[in-house]
Amino acid sequence: MNTLNTWILTLVTFIPLFGAVLLFFFPRRDRDIRVFAFVISLLTFVLSLHLPVHFARGAAGFQFEMDVPWISTPNIHYHLGIDGVSMWLVVLTTFLTPLCVLISWHSVHDRVKEFFVLMLLLETAMIGVFVALDLFLFYFFWEGTLVPMALLIGIYGHERRVYAAVKFFLYTMVASVFMLAAILWLYAHVGSFQFGDVQAWLRGPGASEAAGAMKWLFLGFFVAFAVKVPIFPLHTWLPDAHVEAPTAGSVLLAGVLLKMGTYGLFRFNVGLFPEESRHNAPWIVALAIIGIIYGALVAMVQPNLKKLIAYSSVSHLGFVVLGIFSFTQAGMVGAVYVMLAHGVSTGALFMLAGMIHDRRHTFEISEYGGLATPMPVYSTFFLIITLASIGLPLLNGFIGEFLVLSGAFQARKLWGILAATGVIWSACYMLWLYQRVFFGKVKVEANRTLPDLDLRERLALWPMAGAAVLMGVLPLVWISAIDPAVKDALGNAAQLTMQVMGR
Amino acid sequence: MIPSADYLRILPELILVVAGVLVMLIEPVLDEHNDRRSIFLLAFAGTILAIAATVYQALDKGAQGLGWFGMVRVDSFSICFHLIVGFVAAMVILASFEYLKAQNIRAGEYYGLILLGSVGMMLMSSAVELVLIFIALEISSISTYVLAGFRRRALGSVEASIKYFLLGSFATAFFLYGVALTYGATGSTSIYPIAAVLRNGATPLAFAGMALMFVGLGFKIASAPFHVWTPDVYEGAPAPIVALMSTAPKAATFAVLLRILFAASEPGWFWIVWVSAVLSMTIGNLGALVQNNVKRMLAYSSIAHAGYLLVAFAAAKDIGISAAIFYAASYAVMNVGAFIVISHVAGHGERFVNIEDYSGLGRRAPTLAAILAVFLLSLIGIPITGGFFAKFYVFSAALQSNLVGLTIIGVINSAIAAYYYLRVIVYMYMREPRTETPMVPLPMTVGFSLAAGVVATLYLGVLPNRVLEYALAGARALVK
């Protein structure tokens, strides 16, 4: 059991890569390729379930650690480990990937092999980002997500795919070189890339030695993550990337890649620079609240289904940032919970959008109307997910947003009040969307005979709907693991502030 | 009486000389139709034996050390560069077999010059005497001048050759002048005696000597502001030769530069290198942004890469030097690979070298496109490739010497660079195929050489430890 505990993260991370390499040498028989990709991703998911089952809840610090020297000069370690936050993000990733294989079954019919190879490569890189505890390794995986995602968008996307792919690549690439510079600066002074070492140094000798550089280091990390989240003025790549990406690409982009940004903010900005984070919290929260309201308002007027969902992501991710930088227990736990809930519900929304696109080849909302009549099962799923997304109690969205808002109120009343309007806006645009697409008479003749969901599509949606309900009813399953991790991060922050105040 | 161990110290060079002369001698007596294959095999065997001899030098300590009246020094440093040169020469010879057939070029002189040029390059990295360095530099340069003009029916190739020759001779004169001034200032042409004198304080004369040598060598590595010849020459010269001359002589010149600047502890080079690094990175990357000819684009990119390498120079001693060695190695591997793909796509008469010719390559030739993508991603510096690690190591060395400004300029530059490499990938995978560009299936020799390139690129990116340690040993051998 102990061996498995040490190796489990390595296994979960690299089985998709292994599958991708095998797949690369597969003969071009599309059906077998799909089945194989599905089996590999399902296997990864099953293995990743080992983590929550054997996770010591209530314990702080990292678990399932593995630390092996990789490169001696510079001193780089292959160091993996998870706490409650990263564990659930890993499980979210492995949960979404097999479903993405399912929804790409027929919608991808050209260059099938390359598609699934890229998807499995992407899965490895995404999991790696969440489990890496060495800054070099983290950057390694972080950049590693870039190429497969850009290629997925650029090759398999819709009309303006090339533009979207290049924009996505350049935005993220340019922003992350600043993080690279910050990491290198830290290494030059600490002599180690290990998260723990760097953290200890910044609290001990570094606090005075790096006092002048601290602000720039914080910003270096912040810019890279802010583009990925995306935080308000840096969000313009997101709608393009989402609209042009193939369905599976959108699901993974919204479900996991954006979370890499907020995870980075939580782990590195707050974890390494607690003081700077508190210091900069007001303007970051201001941007987050602008994002919440702006994203929701822009979502409301979108004529394009996918763009609407994309802007709703901007709004939801604003809640996450607000929660993290509210520096309250409730806010941070809520932020993590919104990350998970958003991964499920927005991922499902993109799946649903992709399914209707497969049938009618358009995302224009005006092309639909009255779909409840020809497609009752589809409309039921859509309703459940819509309600989850707007935060109806007993569904997953509610828990997170509630916690974030209560945290925000604790921190500053005005933040809470402004952010709370976001909940109302989201109900407006989502319910209005639902009404326009599903209710009323069937306006377009082609919609009258649309086939309802087939078995494969239902198979992809059931787990999503199930997760949405489960996360709404039994939040403690998740929160009990998240809580100590947040307390840890917050404790560091609080401790440091006390020190500073005391001095 | 020359001790026999001295012959071991130049064993790789001796092997290459013999192979080169043999190739030239055998060609006339061979049958017109059968000669290509046997000459090719002979040349390739020569490079492989030279690599084997270098490995032998690395394993047998008796073959290392000073020799030939203190003119040659075999140590981990020279071995690193011998391996780079040998690897590049072998890859280029492999890739040239089909190319020569397609372009209708006579094989004898071509392989002979590659082998003899490699002798010069290898000697550059092990010579510790300025006059021998000069001679080695000339051997390597003159071979490449001639090789650049080998597509003699193409006007551009002749232009490239003459341009390269004229400017190159000019630069060599600078270098020789620098050697002369250094001799005047220190009374010696040997690196270690020079170092002994300069450590006690440098005169303005020594400084002038160093600056002039830097001008001469700066030309060879195509660093700004001595880079203007690069795009034209790379555009005109045969593609496999560009693969060779953008990597092997450059690596060898970097070796010379490292020896002169660090082993001889020349004074006052820091700001010269700093400025040249910044100019090279910026001019190279901005120039590459607007190119439509892939060869020209990679020419500008090679200027930029020379800049990154110079960043490592400006950094701390042993870490900086080992970063430079590692960068030279991974740059050599990925750039040779990229040019070999280009030479294959270019076809008869090198007509297809525009970025449009790469449209839909991912569909027409998936393997070839995937290989080129690996090299391009490595040139950008994306993880799991050697290019990523090389850049990472260079910038981390620079930051450890507190060169924050230089690092930030470099990092921003590498973000700019992503755009033009990415453009090729976009054309390959996201555009419709063009029917005008014919697609020849990948011959075995080219395939083998590309496979070696891909494996080396990934190896340097995932398991760089052994190479890094050896580079560090080389760096320590140099500054000792």
User: A180: which chain B residues are within 8 Å (Cβ-Cβ)?
Assistant: 392, 395, 411
**Long-range contacts at A190-197 (CB < 8 A, ≥ 24 apart):** A191/A75, A192/A75, A193/A74, A193/A75, A193/A76, A193/A77, A193/A134, A193/A135, A193/A136, A193/A137, A194/A77, A194/A79, A194/A133, A194/A134, A194/A135, A195/A79, A195/A133, A195/A134, A195/A135, A195/A138, A195/A267, A195/A271, A196/A133
Neighboring chain B residues of A181 at a CB cutoff of 8 Å: 395, 399, 407-408, 411
Question: CB of B459 within 8 Å of any CB in chain A?
Answer: no
- Cis peptide bond N-terminal to A230, omega within 30: yes
CB A313 within 8 A of CB A297: no
Average pLDDT over residues B39-52: 92
Q: Which two tokens stand for residue B174?
A: 């600078």
Q: Percent of chain A scored above 90 by pLDDT? A: 33
* Burial of B104 (C-beta count, 10 Å sphere; 0-12/13-18/19+): exposed
Q: Does residue A393 surpass a pLDDT of 80? A: yes
Q: What angle do CA A36, A39, A41 make, to 5 degrees?
A: 110
- From chain A, the residues in CB contact with B371 under 8 A are none
**In this predicted structure, what is the pLDDT of residue B32?**
64
Average pLDDT over residues B298-326: 89
B295's tokens = 């060869």
For residue B266, pLDDT over 80 is answered with no
B278: phi > 0 → left, psi -120 to 50 → alpha, else beta; which?
alpha
Alpha-carbon gap: B407 to the closest alpha carbon of chain A (Å): 7
**Lookup: tokens for A470:** 């489960």
Give dist(CA A435, CA A424) in Å, integer: 16
Q: Please indicate whether residue B172 or residue A499 has the higher confidence score (pLDDT).
A: B172
The alpha carbon of residue B242 is apart from the nearest alpha carbon of chain A, in Å, by: 28
Mean pLDDT of B293-309: 92
* Phi, psi for B125 (deg, rounded to 5): -80, -20
Q: Which residues contact B297 (CB under 8 A, 6 or more apart)?
A: B288, B291, B355, B420, B424
Mean pLDDT across chain B: 88
Average pLDDT, chain A: 88
**Cα–Cα distance list, B200 to A12, A413, B212, B266 (Å):** 60, 71, 21, 11
Confidence class for position A492, pLDDT limits 50, 70, 90 = low
Q: If we measure between CA atoms, which residue out of B143, B144, B136 comes closest to residue B120? A: B136
Is pLDDT larger for residue B204 or for residue B124?
B124
Residue-wise pLDDT tens digits, B87-142: 999 999 998 888 888 888 888 889 999 999 999 999 999 999 999 999 999 999 99
Chain B's closest residue to A158, CA to CA, is: B430
With bands split at pLDDT 50, 70 and 90, how would you rate the model's confidence at A503?
very low
Closest partner residue to B430 (CB to CB) among A147, A154, A180 is A154
Q: How high is the pLDDT of residue A494?
A: 57
Residue B6 scores a pLDDT above 90:
no
- What is the arithmetic mean of pLDDT over B28-38? 73
Point out the residue among A71, A136, A177 whose CB comes nearest to the CB of B468: A71
Contact A173 B363 (CB under 8 A): no
CA distance A170 to B305: 20
Among B317, B325, B396, B466, pick the best mutation site for testing chain A contact (most A Cβ within 10 A): B396
d(CA A433, CA A312): 12
The answer to whether residues A277 and A368 touch, using CB atoms and an 8 Å cutoff, is no
What is the model's pLDDT at position A497? Answer: 47
* CA distances, A254 to each of A92, A100, A140, A265, B196 (Å): 12, 12, 21, 17, 64
Q: Which residues contact residue A494 at a Cβ distance below 8 angstroms, ignoring those fewer than 6 apart?
A: none
Using 50, 70 and 90 to split pLDDT, how confident is the model at A500? very low
Handedness of CA B293, B295, B301, B306 (dihedral sign): negative
Predicted confidence band of residue B252 (pLDDT cuts 50, 70, 90):
very high
Interface test with A, best of B399, B416, B460, B462 (most A CBs within 10 A): B399
| DSSP-assigned states of every residue in A209-245 | HTTTTHHHHHHHHHHHHHHHTT-GGG-THHHHHHHHS
Q: Summarize pLDDT for B352-397 with one digit per residue, the tens.
A: 888 888 888 888 888 888 899 999 999 998 888 899 889 988 988 8
The reply to whether ipTM tops 0.90 is: no
Nearest alpha-carbon partner for B203 in B180, B184, B179: B184
What count of other Cβ atoms lies within 10 Å of the Cβ of residue A128? Answer: 24
* pLDDT at residue B480 tops 90: no
* Interhelix angle B366-380/B444-462, nearest 10 degrees: 40
pLDDT tens string A410-464: 888 888 899 888 888 888 899 999 998 888 888 888 888 888 888 888 888 999 9
Q: Is the pLDDT of residue A495 over 60?
A: no
Q: Which of B384, B422, B465 sits opposite A72 (nearest CB)?
A: B465
Residue A430 identity: M
User: Which chain A residues contact residue B418 at CB under 8 A?
Assistant: 169-170, 173-174
Give the single-character DSSP code of B440. Answer: P
Residue percentage of chain B with pLDDT more than 90: 42
Chain B residues inside the 8 Å CB shell of A158 = none
pLDDT for residue B250 is more than 60: yes
Contact list, A184 vs chain B (CB under 8 Å): 392, 395-396, 399, 407
Higher local confidence (pLDDT), A111 or B14 = B14
* Residue B301: both structure tokens together: 């990119």
Q: Cβ contacts (< 8 Å) between B468 and chain A: which residues? A: 71-73
Query: Residue written as tokens 């580079």?
Result: B471
- How far is the C-alpha of A454 from the C-alpha of B449, rounded, in Å? 49
Kindly state the average pLDDT of the residues A302-330: 90
Interface check B402 vs A, CB under 8 A: yes
DSSP state of A362: -
The residues of A whose Cβ lies within 8 A of any Cβ of B are: 70-74, 111, 114, 136, 139-141, 143-144, 146-147, 151, 154-155, 161-162, 165-166, 169-170, 173-174, 177-178, 180-181, 184-185, 187-188
Beta strand A76-82 with A63-71 is antiparallel
- Work out the minimum CA distance from A71 to partner chain B, whole angstroms: 5
Report whether pLDDT(B155) > 90.
no
CB within 8 A of B282, min separation 6: which ones? B224, B307, B409, B413
The whole-number average pLDDT for the span B301-308 is 93
Q: Do A184 and B384 touch (CB under 8 A)?
A: no
Q: How far apart are CA A88 and CA B409, in angstroms?
A: 38
End-to-end CA distance of chain A: 48
**B388 at A interface, C-beta within 8 A:** yes
pLDDT of residue B399: 85
Q: Tell whether B404 lies on the interface with A, counting CB pairs under 8 A.
A: yes
- pLDDT tens for each residue of B408-431: 899 888 888 888 998 898 888 888
Q: What are phi and psi of B400, to 5 degrees?
A: -65, -20
